[in-house]
Amino acid sequence: MEEKRQTVQHEKTEEGWEPTIVAFLCNWCSYAGADLAGVSRFQYQPNVRILRVPCSGRINPLYIVKALQNGVDGVLVSGCHPGDCHYISGNLMARRKFALLKRYLGYLGIEPERVQFSWVSAAEGARFAELINKVVTDVKNLGPAKQLVKKAL
Amino acid sequence: MEKTEQIIRETAKELFNSGRVEILIGYEKGTLPFRTRPVFIRNAAEADRLVWNSWCSNNLAVYLPGLFEQKKHKKNEAPPLPPKVGIVAKSCDVRSVINLVREHQIPRQNVVIVGVPCSGMLDAAKIKALLDNEVVTEVAEDGNTVSITGRSRSSGTKVKRDDVVFNACLECCSPMPEGVDLLVQGTARNASQNKYDRVKEFESMAPGERWNYFLSEISRCIRCNACRQVCPNCYCKECFADQTNPRWVDAGDDISDIMLYHIGRIFHQAGRCVECDACTRACPMGIDIRTFTQKLACDVKDLYNFVPGFSPEEPLPLCTYKPDDKQDFITEP
Amino acid sequence: MDNPYLPYPVTLADFIIENDARDLKTFKLVFEKKEDENRFSYLPGQFAELSLFGKGESPIGIASSPTEKGYLLFTVKKTGLVTGELHNAEVGKKMGVRGPLGKPFPFEKMKGKDIVIVGGGFAFTTLRSAITYILHPDNRAGFGKITVVYGARTPGELLYKKDLGEWGHDRRMDLHVTVDKATDGWKGREGLVPNVLRDVHPSSSNAIALVCGPPIMIRFTMPVLLELGFTGENIFLSLEMRMKCGIGKCGRCNIGHRFVCTDGPVFTYQELQSLPSEY
Amino acid sequence: MEQGILAKTDMKKFIELLIKDHRKVFAPVSRKGRVLFTEVSSADEVKLDYRNTDLSPKGLFLPQCEAICTFTGDAFQEVPLTKDKQVVFGMRPCDAAALSHLDRVFTEGSQKDPCWLARRENTVIISIACSDPLDSCFCTSVDGSPVAKKGSDIMVYTIDDTLLFEAFTEKGKALLTLASSFLKKPKESALEARQKYESAAVKKVPALNLADIKEKLRGCFDLTLWSSIAERCLGCGVCTYLCPTCHCFDITDQTDGERGRRIRSWDSCQYSLFTLHASGHNPRPSKKERMRQRILHKFLYAQDNFKETFCVGCGRCIRSCPVNLDIKETIAVLAAGTGKGA
């Protein structure tokens, strides 16, 4: 994780506001999928900042919550499709954590669309582009994140 | 109850006399009315300090990992043998012990679990509230009736026992301890059938209301860490909340940091929390932590059909998977 | 009123790497405002909080002497957040210094007396300050014979090699540098500081001893000093503790009722014996 | 004006007057079963028939978190000291005494604490005499009393349906003068009633025998008893955070990109990180040493440094300890243990 906290400094006004979304992508499938989307010249919305992780199983749920605290408007986590994990079961273990986290954040009253999970394989460049577009649209519909966000200093 | 107390004392004496335990963790009379407190008994003669009543609300399993911590010893000497520890435990505490065994924090063969059937512990806060926060001078129990006397009232207010029992106890699914070494004779309350009522009630609120409730509860937090320190599952050598590099949780007064601490701590209990309620009981500010720990226990049961603290072998739900685990939460573009 | 929690702004003017392990550096700091330098009036033995904005503060003994005008020296070991950041800093870095804090060595009491200085390893910093201060032409006449015993684990771990080189030729003092374990090319003494001290055998009559070093060295040096005839009130030691405020408020550096930050860090051996051994 | 009688029904006017005078008014307010000092905007919120607030009012003077300075990159800026005028209405004498103890810490010595001083100087403390102590109270055993004036500017006695105000500092007298229009001169009977109230209140507080406690504790540092005392301690910070005299703090930097602030925030001697050196060495490595530090700091070190016991007998640590560690009992056990030379 980047050591210095950098609150995402956008004007939290509805007008002209563009969301910032952090995507945690696993190295073996989803990151390659994103790469393919780029190479294939698939157009998708530019609001995503990609963080490459070795495996979706590497994602500590705290990373997701911390990202929201640091002011991102949405978080996307994507790994290999079930059965395709480079480490055999990383994504399957992660799936349980994610299922609980998704429900838990919703329970606290955080909009479910703020945090999304998906599977994208290395061959699914088009799916990746569509996924990003969907997440960005979802988050745009929600407006800027306000819950859990740390006040700027 | 007095009979139960007597049996616990006798059991303790036997355990010491037979050499099965060297230390026994139990409850003794507290220094305040309506309190007991943890006590470490080290020989049969001390066993008469042990008490059993409706105020034995602490979860004593929290002391176990510390007792089994590897002591420093000289390089050329063999490490000291782990102690033989007895523990007086309600069913929720037993579940904590079993979970600690499951997580390899304590050696099962060195622990003698003295299980005590539980009729539910009394909640001093509920009692105080019944008397309009007056100082309570006497609480007398007679079967299912509790009679409460306040400082300025001569006669006792009579209420049903269940009206002043902790919510956690009202919702307890297994008041009779399971998997113990010795079971003290006694009666337990009936296992609750309506689990997770509070979760359902909370979920029926609008998301905004839920958030506001979370916010208002957490805003009372003074960051004393009592919820973490009393939790038998919070045995991490270094808590994420104390780490400085990276610093997850700032020392400042931003509510988001305090929320992050609570979300992080509670979420770390997913599939491990035995719903003993120790965190909620310890909070000096009366924060309703329970509403937020319950949800995870409820979901773990719902999604993975797992209830922690019953099997010392079964894999923990977040350390395993099934190929067909539910994944309806996955976003499909 | 001045806020004692605020540092003076300083600039990192230079630094040198002190040891082979490269985890000890001496930083030369220059005050941004001349008046701050005048207000920062200190004596050897005192310390200051080095302040790196965004990381925090770290209490470090002052290694320069007040006779060295225009700058401050701090020798810092890379251990935590602040010191780690400091080690990564480049010349020109703006930072803060808060102090001077604590009590210095007892120069009033040392006047006219022989001074025996015993140092070990990285704890030599404030002793360097004291030696430099005493050797200054304005001050030298005020003191008697100066004997210095300084040791480190290996030659590469010795601090202030330039100073040691100069002091070795200085007739105004008697310097004994030793290492626990010699390496190729080391021509000096080999042996532990307490043993060397016993060999050197400085007189304790009308003398004061200043001792700084790791706990193990202190433990074995004290009997030697007592053996030489030093009394508890003539041996001065400098302690280390985790500190935050440095002004006796934040409550963490106490040993018994004394605060290391305000009552120390320099204590007599006698005082320390009357305090609990909680350090 | 030194004395005045206010009908309880006029309390509203009194509080309104203070607010009109541009003062922030803090008073005990009941919220979800807890009574806490909170800024009030009307007398309706004030709860005077409380026994002890759940949190001590020390936070009004030493906030749990406050900024020392802010910075951008490497350049820092001072945070101006507060100029807010405040009144704390309805403080208990034990908590007021604790403030006077903390004054010693923050204003004595070579360096004064400007943040503390600014808040103290701008605040008038109106204490309310205690008449109904809790079982866990023991103020009279630690040089206090339910009617002690130390640390307060004004003392209020509840006498029937009236409040008798007595001011004994310049700040206090000035405040009463401000309210003179609706404060009546007390009758002789009221003053007699106050005296009766005082002697009755003192008797109600459970008394301990803490005579010579300092001398008894002097030899207890190395007692093995500490291990058994600390055995049940869980190492949370409840006792220290609730304590009105505990004042230990941490100083840390908080950053947001280039910007940041240096804050001081409450810390607790019961946490292992409190004294942990960067090297890994910890002078107080286990809960035994940390418990010893807390107890001896209050009853011995503070006596040595300030001739005061840094415990005012409010009983909060006893009531809120998750495992019922009782400082009264601890002291008694130690005093007995020292005698035996255990």
Amino acid at C31: F
Give the C-alpha separation, B166 to B288, whole Å. 12
Taking contacts as CB-CB distances below 8 angstroms, the residues of chain D near C249 are: 105-106, 111, 113, 247, 249
Distance in angstroms (rounded) separating the CA atoms of residues D232 and A114: 43
DSSP C107-168: HHHHTTSEEEEEEEGGGGHHHHHHHHHHHSHHHHTTS--EEEEEEESSGGG-S-HHHHHHHH
d(CA C9, CA C14): 16
Same domain, B146 and B10: no
pTM of the model: 0.93
Q: Is residue B291 part of a domain?
A: yes
Neighbours of chain D (3+ CB pairs under 8 A): A, B, C
Mutant choice from C218, C257, C258 vs D, greatest count of D C-beta within 10 A: C257
What whole-number distance in Å separates Cα of residue B250 and Cα of residue B256? Answer: 9
- Cβ burial of D45 (10 Å; 0-12, 13-18, 19+) is middle
D294: contact with C, CB 8 A cutoff: no
Contact A7 D261 (CB under 8 A): no
pLDDT at A1: 39
Six token digits for residue B307: 């209830």
Q: What is the C-alpha to C-alpha distance for residues D240 and B237, in angstroms, rounded to an integer? A: 22
The count of structural domains within chain B is: 2
Chain A residues with beta carbon closer than 8 angstroms to that of D254 = 153
Omega cis (within 30) before B65 = no
Q: What confidence score (pLDDT) does residue C118 get?
A: 94
**Per the CB < 8 Å rule, is D234 touching B37?**
no
Q: Which of D30, D232, D263 minimises the CB distance to B252?
A: D263
Identify the closest residue of chain A to B212 by CA–CA distance.
Answer: A109
CA trace torsion B299, B304, B305, B311 (10° rounding): -110
Residue to test with chain D: of B69, B132, B133, most D Cβ within 10 A: B133
Spatial separation of the C-alpha atoms in residues B127 and B147, rounded to whole Å: 10
Task: Judge if B157 and B191 occupy the same domain.
Answer: no
CATH number for the domain spanning A97: value is: 3.40.50
**Whether residue B202 sits in one domain with residue B67:** yes
Phi and psi at residue C248, to the nearest 5°:
75, 20
d(C-alpha B279, C-alpha B283), whole Å: 6
- Please check the confidence at residue B31 and state whether its pLDDT lies above 70: yes
Q: Are residues B148 and B232 part of one domain?
A: no
* Domain assignment present for B178: yes
Q: Residues A26-47: what's their mean pLDDT?
A: 95
DSSP for C3-42, please give it. Answer: -TTPPEEEEEEEEEE-STTS-EEEEEEEESSHHHHHH---
Tell me how close the Cα of A24 comes to any Cα of chain D, in angstroms.
Answer: 21
D93 close to D149: Cβ distance less than 8 angstroms = yes
Does A153 touch chain D if contact means CB atoms closer than 8 Å?
yes
Q: Is residue D68 within 8 angstroms of chain C, CB to CB? A: yes
Minimal CA separation from A130 to chain B, in Å: 6
Q: Does D70 touch chain A (CB under 8 A)?
A: yes
> How far from chain centre, in Å, is Cα C152?
14
- In the predicted model, what is the mean pLDDT of residues D222-250? 93
Residue D307 sits at the chain C interface (C-beta within 8 Å): no
Residue B163 DSSP symbol = G
The closest of B38, B52, B32, B30 to B85, measured between CA atoms, is B38
* Sign of the dihedral defined by the CA atoms of residues B315, B320, B326, B327, in that order: positive
The predicted model gives A46-52 an average pLDDT of 96
Distance CA B179, CA B310 (A): 7
Which residue does chain B place closest to A2, by CA atoms? B246
Residues B182 and B51 reside in one and the same domain? yes
Candidate from C54, C242, C251 with C-beta closest to D255 = C54
Q: What DSSP line would sit under A88-145, residue for residue?
A: SSHHHHHHHHHHHHHHHHHHHT--GGGEEEEE--TT-HHHHHHHHHHHHHHHHHH-S-
Task: For residues B98-127, give the mean pLDDT.
Answer: 95
ipTM: 0.92
Within this chain, do residues B225 and B256 fall inside the same structural domain, yes or no?
yes
pLDDT tier, D135 (very low <50, low <70, confident <90, very high otherwise): confident
**Chain A to chain B Cβ contacts (< 8 Å):** 116
Q: Is D22 helix (H, G, I), strand (E, B) or coil?
A: coil
* Mean pLDDT over the full length of chain D: 90
Count of CB atoms situated within 10 Å of the CB of D148:
23
For chain A, the domain total comes to 1
CB count within 10 Å of CB C153 equals: 16
**One-letter identity of residue D25:** V
Question: Where residue C175 falls among pLDDT bands split at 50, 70, 90?
Answer: very high
**DSSP β-ladder status, C72-77 and C24-31:** antiparallel
Q: Do B321 and A93 touch (CB under 8 A)?
A: yes
Q: What is the pLDDT of residues C181-194, one digit of tens each?
A: 888 888 888 899 99
Which residues span the domain enclosing B258? 2-73+82-123+165-319
Query: What domain range includes position A96?
Result: 21-142
Q: Which of A2, A128, A140 is nearest to A73 (CA)?
A: A140
B256/A149 Cβ within 8 A? yes
Q: D254 and chain A: CB distance < 8 Å anywhere?
A: yes
Q: Name every residue whose Cβ is closer than 8 Å to that of residue B164 and which is 6 or more positions away in sequence.
A: B122, B123, B126, B127, B130, B146, B148
Residue B326 lies in a domain: no
Residue A6 belongs to some domain of the structure = no
Torsion angle of C-alpha atoms C99, C102, C106, C108, degrees rounded to 10: 50
**pLDDT tens column, C230-259:** 999 999 999 988 999 999 999 999 999 999
Binned at pLDDT 50, 70 and 90, residue A2 comes out as very low
CATH annotation of C107-238: 3.40.50.80
Q: Is residue B333 part of a domain?
A: no
The three-class DSSP label of residue D114 is: helix
Going by pLDDT thresholds of 50, 70 and 90, the confidence category of residue D132 is: confident
**For chain B, what percent of residues have pLDDT higher than 70?**
100
Which of D248, D250, D260 has the CB atom closest to C53's CB atom? Answer: D260
Instruction: Find the CB nearest D134 among B35, B38, B135.
Output: B135
Phi, psi of D182 (to 5 degrees): -120, 15
Considering the domain architecture, whether residues B51 and B137 belong to the same structural domain is answered as no
Reply yes or no: is the peptide bond before residue A54 cis, omega within 30 of 0. no
Domain annotation covers residue A15? no
Q: Report residue D325 as tokens.
A: 């560690």
Give the mutation candidate from D256, D258, D259 for the A interface (greatest A CB count, under 10 A): D256
pLDDT tens, B227-249? 999 999 999 999 999 998 888 99
pLDDT in tens, D33-73: 889 999 998 888 888 888 889 999 999 999 999 999 999 98
CATH for the C8-100 domain, from 3.40.50.2300, 1.10.3720.10, 2.50.20.10, 2.40.30.10: 2.40.30.10
Confidence (pLDDT) at D274:
93
Given pLDDT bands bounded at 50, 70 and 90, which one contains residue D214? confident
CA–CA gap between residue A31 and residue A36 (Å, rounded): 9
Domain ranges of chain C: 8-100, 107-238
Tokens 């979300």 belong to which residue?
B263
Q: In B, which residues are within 8 Å of A1 by CB distance?
A: 246
Residue B27 covered by a domain? yes
Six-digit token pair at A19?
């969301």
The answer to whether B100 and B106 have CB atoms below 8 angstroms apart is: yes
Q: Does A142 contact B at CB distance below 8 Å?
A: no
